[in-house]
Amino acid sequence: MLTSTEATEQWNRNGWLLVDDAVDERGLAELREAIDELTAWASNDGPGLHHFEQTDSGPALARSERFADVHERLGAFVRSGIVTDVVGAMLGEPAVLFKEKVNYKHPGGGGFAPHQDAPAYRFVDHHVSVMVPIDPATVASGCLWFAPGHTHGQLDTDERGRLTDAAVASLDWQPIEVRPGQLLAFDSYAPHRSDTNTTNHPRRALYLTYNAASRGDFREAYYADKDTEFARGGARSASGTVRVSISDDFLGRPVA
Ligand SMILES: O=C(O)CCC(=O)C(=O)O
């Protein structure tokens, strides 16, 4: 485990922080069970918001979100304990949940174009997210890539919410492989991207996003705004990919 000084140094230098031994085997088993329940909800028209993508082996669940108020165990996990402690330490004050999701990245599931999260997270200008890996995230399974050194400020971004080619080329990208039990916290200005999952196993991860509690609680407003955007624009993005976000950064294919 890093000391709090080492953690703050890593955060300030990179815009992300890797925490070891954060979730034990029992906690992981509970999260896996909960995610299986979300998966069943997605195919049975159950609660939550779910997005599918086309893969070479057929349609696959790409993302579930908006489950913290309807899944008791996940609600408790995302609103207290190790994740909110880590985010609170990075924000320097208590954290409030802004949004929550699971990205499943099944075999052949799409990656994400280089982006910063900040433009898609309206209402407040700064967030911290935590990736909670449920399966190993490796280069082959489509782990996150970051560009250490850029920790603040918006880079040049196109109308889709993707970093411009010049911005992408100016950064020194590094894969950050993670395994279940670890947490990867990252700033909403940390540039990141990921690739398709080329393995035969899903690469599931929770992504939990928070803002400083003193700025207010915007989760309801965020999801109401997303409902409005999707009602207006539909589930296919202007570039023809599946739309899972306010930004057009997901590279997954629409279900045929
Ligand atoms: O899950 C991934 O591979 C990337 C996730 C991401 O960048 C996002 O959801 O904005």
Contact indicator for 67, 100 with CB cutoff of 8 Å: yes
Distance 248 CA to ligand 1 centre (A): 12
Task: Name the residue with the closest Cα to ligand 1, atom 2.
Answer: 194
Coil, strand or helix at 86: helix
**Ligand 1 in reach of 209 Cβ (< 6 A):** no
pLDDT tens-digit profile, the chain (256 residues): 667 888 899 999 999 999 999 999 999 999 999 999 999 999 999 999 999 999 999 999 999 999 999 999 999 999 989 999 999 999 999 999 999 999 999 999 999 999 999 999 999 999 999 999 999 999 999 999 999 888 889 999 999 999 999 999 999 999 999 999 999 999 999 999 999 999 999 999 999 999 999 999 999 999 999 999 888 888 788 888 989 988 899 999 999 8
**Ligand 1 in reach of 103 Cβ (< 6 A):** yes
Q: How many angstroms separate the CA atoms of 200 and 120, rounded?
A: 31
For residue 111, which atom of ligand 1 is closest to its CA?
3
Burial class of residue 21, CB neighbours in 10 A (0-12, 13-18, 19+): exposed
Which of 207, 237, 242, 250 should be mutated for ligand 1, with most atoms under 8 A from CB? 207
What pLDDT does 18 receive?
96
Sorted by where each starts, the structural domains of the chain and their CATH numbers stand as 4-233 (2.60.120.620)
Distance 250 CA to ligand 1 centre (A): 8
What pLDDT does 3 receive?
77
> HSE on the CB side for 100, CA within 13 Å?
22
DSSP calls for 173-201: -EEE-B-BTBEEEEETTS-EEE----SSS
**Ligand 1 in reach of 66 Cβ (< 6 A):** no
90-129-224 Cα angle (round to 5): 125
Contact indicator for 181, 23 with CB cutoff of 8 Å: yes
Contact indicator for 114, 193 with CB cutoff of 8 Å: yes
Task: Name the residue with the closest Cα to ligand 1, atom 3.
Answer: 194
Q: What are phi and psi of 207, to 5 degrees?
A: -125, 115
Coil, strand or helix at 7: helix
**Ligand 1 in reach of 112 Cβ (< 6 A):** yes
Q: How many angstroms separate the CA atoms of 25 and 29, rounded?
A: 6
- Cβ partners under 8 Å of residue 124, min gap 6: 98, 211, 212, 215, 216, 218
**Ligand 1 in reach of 104 Cβ (< 6 A):** no
Distance 2 CA to ligand 1 centre (A): 25
Which of 99, 102, 192 should be mutated for ligand 1, with most atoms under 8 A from CB? 192
End-to-end alpha carbon distance in the chain: 46
Q: What are phi and psi of 166, to 5 degrees?
A: -65, -40
Q: Which amino acid would we find at residue 57?
A: S
Per DSSP (E only), the strands in 56-121 are 58-65, 95-103, 112-115
